Each structure stands twice: as structure tokens, then as C-alpha cells.
Amino acid sequence: MGLTFPSPIGLAGGFDKNAMRPRALAALGFGHLELGTVTALPQNANPRPNLFRCPEDHALINRLGFPNDGAARVAARLLRARPKLGTPVGLSIGKSRAVPVSDLDAVIADYVAAFDAVRSVADFVVINISSPNTAGLRSMQSQEHARSLLGALTQRPGRRPPLLVKIAPDLDDAELEALLEVVEQTRLDGVVATNTTTSRPTHLATSSQRIASIGSGGLSGPPLRARALSIVRRVRARLGRDAVVVGVGGIETPNDAIAYVRAGANLVQMYTGFIYQGPLAASRIARGFADALEREQVRSVSELVSTE
């Protein structure tokens, strides 16, 4: 994307929704930050309780629903912090809850407004159409809707930072291939794979009673890892060498990060692992990753990235 990353270990979207602490997060060793998700209209979180720990699985379930101060306000806050940041910063944009998903034109206009508010301050922009916590949002991953939305954003006149789309792990093979065809057609720069999952794997250590009591929301952490790795492989195989692929889901160790890179990711991101592994997790994983490269006498991350 024409950017230099201090390490491949980044912070996933959803942790710092309002760009309140980018300097502190960068200082903890993240090689990039994805802030947000922000929406064109300010909005509150979904009703509490909306965030749950499943410690037995090192997992989280959330149904927060894009709480944020609004794209324009967050962009202004990031602009003030930018001179003191030494790492690339992206902003994730999503649909405002007040905009009905049934009105495609209104949805596109809403995303465009958010994009216009953030594009001058972001090194890259992530189009979030895969959160399970905004009603109907995942329908924007359908080929027809995605083509209209992504096309409108890529064709927007003026400065266009690199654009990535964040996809769900719950797409079936046909849905994924159809969406990746749109990514190719609209010449997006790449894909963030993946968002949280609405599925509840049978191998969870957390009791079924506890899972049932939590209810709806997106599951993140190690239970998501196998599926997210599979999606990364398919995305890389379909989009080829030049696309940017960011792998997300269950990264807790250097070996997890390396597995994503070997599967085809250029960069990786963590959120749940940051919660469970502590504030120095990114630095620790980055050091372990660098040590592994040295042992294998690999000069750059790109030499590990699968392009098959």
C-alpha cells in the first residue's frame, strides 16, 4: 500500500473506536493501528450487557454495535495526534444504525459521508460490512450490494487512500468467491479477514449454559483461528500476489502470526489476544516473529507469504 510497517503485528478495529489513545497504543509496539469503526452519525452502544469474556477459551463475545463519536469528530481527534505517531494508522468505517439497510442508496451515501470525513487523515481505510452487531449489515456482502457500495467508494473523486474490505468468517464458499470477484472488479487494495463469527463451535471449553446465557454477538479469539486462516488462504489464492491481505482471529503467539503469514497474510491484527495476553503482547509477538525470521534466514515477511 506504499506504507512502511515497523512490524506486521497490528491492532484490530474495535478496540479504540474513538481514536482516544493512538499514541499510547503505538508505544506498546503495534506495527499499525486500525481505529474505529466509525460511522457518519454519532451513536451509542447497543444496550448493556454487550461485551462478555469466555476465559476458558481466551475468547470474547461482543454485541457493541459501532459506538462512536461520529466520523468527523474522530478524524479531527486523529489529526491532532498524527504528528506524534510513528506507525501507519487506518480507520474503519461502517453503517450508521439510523440508516435503514433496506435503502441501498441511503446506505451508500452514509458510507460515503464517513469515508469523506476520514480519508484525509487515514493511511488506509477499512470498509466494515461484516459486523454481526448492526442489523442487516452483513447483507452488504452480497455481490450486488457490495458492487454498488465498493464501486461508489473506489470511484470517489479526490484523495483515495488504500481501501480494504473487512469480511465475515461465516460466508460460505460461493458467497466468498462472489464477494472476492467484486473486490477484483472494483480494484480494492485488499481484504481484512476476518470479523467475528456468529457461530458457536462445538469444541468450546466454555459451558454451553454460559454460551446460551450470553446470547447473540460476535465471537472472537482462538475459537475463530482455524476458520479465519482458511479464509485467508482462499482470499490469497483468489486475489493473487498483489492484493493486501490482513489476517485477524485468535493471534496470541508468534507462531499464530507466522501461521497467518504462511497462509497468505501480509499483516496480522489482534484484539482479543491483546485483552488476554496483556499490554506488551504486540511487542512480545513482534520480537518472537523477528527471531523466527532470523532462525530461518528470511530477510522479509514477504518471503513467507504464500501466494498460492
Q: How far is CA 159 from the centre of its chain?
A: 22
Tell me, what's the pLDDT at 306?
72
Which structural domain, as residue segments, surrounds residue 73?
Answer: 9-46+65-200+224-297
Confidence of residue 304 (pLDDT cuts 50, 70, 90): confident
Task: Please confirm, yes or no, whether 139 is among the known catalytic residues.
Answer: no
> 14-31: per-residue pLDDT in tens?
999 999 999 999 999 999
265 belongs to a structural domain = yes
266 belongs to a structural domain = yes
Higher pLDDT, 300 or 164: 164
Closest CA to 105 of 137, 145, 142: 145
255 belongs to a structural domain = yes
Q: What does pLDDT average to over the chain? A: 96
Q: Would you say the C-alpha torsion 295, 26, 24, 224 has a positive or negative sign?
A: negative
Spell out a b/e string for 41-60, using b for 16 or more CB atoms within 10 Å of the CB, else e.
bbbebbeeebebbbeebbbb
What is the signed CA dihedral for 52, 55, 56, 62, rounded to 10 degrees? Answer: 30
126 belongs to a structural domain = yes
User: Domain with 112 in it: what CATH number?
Assistant: 3.20.20.70
Are 188 and 164 in contact by the 8 Å Cβ rule? The answer is yes
175 belongs to a structural domain = yes
Confidence of residue 297 (pLDDT cuts 50, 70, 90): confident
Catalytic residue from among 92, 96, 131, 220: 131
CA distance 267 to 7: 8
207 belongs to a structural domain = no
Confidence of residue 308 (pLDDT cuts 50, 70, 90): low
How would you class 300 by CB atoms within 10 Å of its CB: exposed for 0-12, middle for 13-18, buried for 19 or more? exposed
Confidence of residue 303 (pLDDT cuts 50, 70, 90): confident
303 belongs to a structural domain = no
> 134-144: per-residue pLDDT in tens?
999 999 999 99
> 39-68: per-residue pLDDT in tens?
999 999 999 999 999 999 999 999 999 999
Query: Is pLDDT at 112 greater than 80 in this prediction?
Result: yes
Tell me, what's the pLDDT at 307?
66
Domains held by the chain: number: 1
pTM equals 0.97
307 belongs to a structural domain = no
